[in-house]
């Protein structure tokens, strides 16, 4: 189940970013489940990672390696998260890095490891090591769809997005792939995003771009409120496009590249929501009129996480009372119900603390019957605004998550 139709786009090759895939048999035999990115020597990488205190071994190692050496390789496996695996998990992830480094003629700290899948099972290091030659043999700059497929877990479709932008007379390309599905919540969910560009960017500027872009995209989506131990969004810049190196974060070139990366990340984030586990609706929760960003977010999360609202969305039931109840318990101090308005798409449903007099059930039903629903809440007490994207809660969500390990 998934909302809408997102065919995988035509993605141009990015010079200086080669991709290899292989089937290590971690989850199912014959399915590509290991992915290798090889980044040109003169390139660099930057990333943002989960804030989960139980972050997985590969996340810790990514942070360390990004700070220590210029990144040359990213190695990603699906099927096993190498999370909550203690000291052995760290040893295992480093073993994989070391094997990739050896095969690629690099230092271990030039390799970033990523894992997604079941938590708490030992990483099958031997299986991954065994396919490293195949990964290197299959390196190609055109392998984007294969890459997107190799990182899928409960995703029903591969996710990719691409943009081109002119930077000081040079055409620069930005590609991205992601995986998501369950355990999706801001601050990086069981979400992996890999972005690549051929632009020349200094590492500090690249870090600024990925932080801002992720904040406006991946950190705005929530499916079940669970923030995973493994989330990561990494960007690679190969410096092959020939643009003057971007280093000034106040420059037009920086803004242009950031905009393109944000668009790619937003598209990928929305694809993750649309392909959320069991999703039948794509829901935008847009809260305006707040006295602070914090209170807007509180309301947006209360609405986006309410199982009662999510089941009503699944049922296409314009049960606006549940929306109002969620606004009421979100924890906004001294909220005056009479200043709050709520629209479902363009239909005014709540005003003056109750149902809008103009509202009819038929109007609400018409909105809810669609698969793209906007819940627009104005708190009427300030100028702040926050926005989230989420899904409904269906039988299928329960089935997927009740069956995941079986």
Here the tokens at position 212 are 């801002």
* Least Å from the CB of residue 90 to a copy of itself: 10
Indicate whether 76 belongs to the interface with a copy of itself (CB under 8 A): no
Length of the chain: 406
CA distances from 231 to 91, 113, 156, 184, 227 (A): 20, 12, 19, 9, 8
* Least Å from the CB of residue 226 to a copy of itself: 5
Considering 85, 108, 173, 190, which one is annotated as catalytic? 190
Q: How many CB atoms lie within 10 A of CB 202?
A: 18
Indicate whether 91 belongs to the interface with a copy of itself (CB under 8 A): no
Here the tokens at position 74 are 């990213």
Indicate whether 225 belongs to the interface with a copy of itself (CB under 8 A): yes
Indicate whether 166 belongs to the interface with a copy of itself (CB under 8 A): no
Rounded to whole angstroms, the Cα distance separating 202 from 132 reads 30
Rounded to whole angstroms, the Cα distance separating 236 from 217 reads 18
Rounded to whole angstroms, the Cα distance separating 77 from 68 reads 23
Q: Among residues 248 and 329, whose Cβ is nearest to a copy of itself? A: 329
Q: Determine how β-strand 282-290 pairs with β-strand 372-378.
A: parallel
Can you tell me which of 7, 10, 30, 53 binds a copy of itself, judged by CB under 8 A?
53
Indicate whether 326 belongs to the interface with a copy of itself (CB under 8 A): yes
Rounded to whole angstroms, the Cα distance separating 351 from 332 reads 18
Q: Among residues 70 and 381, whose Cβ is nearest to a copy of itself? A: 381
Indicate whether 222 belongs to the interface with a copy of itself (CB under 8 A): no
Please indicate if the annotation marks 401 as binding a ligand: yes
Give the rounded distance of the alpha carbon of 220 from its chain centre: 9
CB of 102 within 8 A of CB of 65?
no
Indicate whether 250 belongs to the interface with a copy of itself (CB under 8 A): no
* Least Å from the CB of residue 289 to a copy of itself: 15
Can you tell me which of 43, 79, 89, 193 binds a copy of itself, judged by CB under 8 A?
89
Can you tell me which of 133, 244, 354, 370 binds a copy of itself, judged by CB under 8 A?
354
Q: Which helix (H) or strand (E) holds 21?
A: strand 17-22
190 is catalytic: yes
Query: Phi and psi for 192 in degrees, rounded to 5?
Result: -120, 135
- Contacts with a copy of itself by CB under 8 A: the residue count is 66
Q: Among residues 73 and 397, whose Cβ is nearest to a copy of itself? A: 397
Please indicate if the annotation marks 82 as binding a ligand: no
The DSSP bridge partners found for residue 18 are: 38
The DSSP bridge partners found for residue 11 are: none
SS3 399: helix
Indicate whether 337 belongs to the interface with a copy of itself (CB under 8 A): yes
Segment near a copy of itself (CB under 8 A); pick from 37-45, 86-94, 209-217, 257-265? 86-94
Annotated binding-site ranges for substrate:
153, 179, 190, 277, 401, 406
- Which residues are at the interface with a copy of itself (CB under 8 A)? 51-55, 81, 83-89, 118-120, 182-183, 185, 187, 224-229, 305-308, 311-312, 314-315, 317, 319-322, 324-329, 332, 335-337, 350, 352-355, 393-395, 397-399, 401-406
């Amino acid at each position: 189940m998934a909302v809408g139709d997102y065919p995988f786009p035509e993605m141009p090759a990015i010079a200086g970013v080669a991709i290899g895939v292989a089937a290590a048999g971690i989850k199912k035999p014959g399915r590509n489940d290991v992915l290798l990115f090889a980044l040109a020597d003169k390139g660099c990488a930057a990333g943002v990672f989960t804030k989960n205190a139980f972050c997985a071994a590969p996340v810790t190692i990514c942070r360390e390696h990004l700070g220590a050496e210029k990144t040359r390789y990213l190695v990603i496996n699906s099927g096993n998260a190498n999370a909550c695996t203690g000291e052995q998990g760290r040893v295992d992830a480093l073993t994989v890095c070391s094997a990739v480094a050896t095969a690629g003629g690099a230092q271990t700290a030039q390799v970033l490891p990523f894992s997604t899948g079941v938590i708490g099972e030992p990483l099958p290091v031997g299986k991954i090591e065994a396919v490293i030659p195949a990964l290197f043999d299959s390196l190609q700059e055109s392998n984007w769809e294969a890459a997107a497929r190799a990182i899928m877990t409960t995703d029903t479709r591969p996710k990719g997005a691409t943009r081109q932008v002119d930077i000081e007379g040079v055409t620069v390309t930005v590609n991205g792939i992601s995986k998501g599905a369950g355990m999706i919540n801001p601050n990086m969910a069981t979400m992996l995003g890999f972005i690549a560009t051929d632009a020349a960017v200094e590492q500090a500027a690249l870090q600024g771009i990925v932080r801002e872009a992720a904040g406006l995209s991946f950190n705005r989506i929530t499916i079940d409120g669970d923030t995973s131990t493994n989330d990561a969004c990494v960007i690679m810049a190969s410096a092959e496009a020939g643009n003057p190196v971007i280093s000034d974060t106040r420059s037009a070139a920086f803004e242009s590249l950031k905009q393109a990366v944000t668009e790619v990340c937003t598209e990928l984030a929305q694809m993750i929501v649309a392909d959320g586990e069991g999703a039948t609706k794509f829901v935008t929760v847009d809260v305006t009129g707040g006295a602070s960003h914090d209170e807007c977010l509180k309301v947006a999360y209360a609405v986006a996480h309410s199982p009662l609202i999510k089941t009503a969305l699944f049922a296409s039931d314009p049960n606006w009372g549940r929306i109002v109840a969620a606004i009421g318990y979100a924890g906004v101090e001294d909220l005056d119900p009479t200043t709050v308005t709520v629209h479902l798409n363009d239909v005014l449903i709540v005003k003056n603390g109750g149902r809008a007099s103009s509202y009819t059930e038929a109007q609400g039903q018409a909105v809810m019957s669609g698969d793209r629903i906007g819940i627009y809440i104005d708190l009427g007490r300030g100028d702040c605004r926050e926005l989230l994207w989420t899904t409904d809660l269906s039988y299928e969500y329960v089935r997927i998550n009740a069956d995941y390990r079986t």
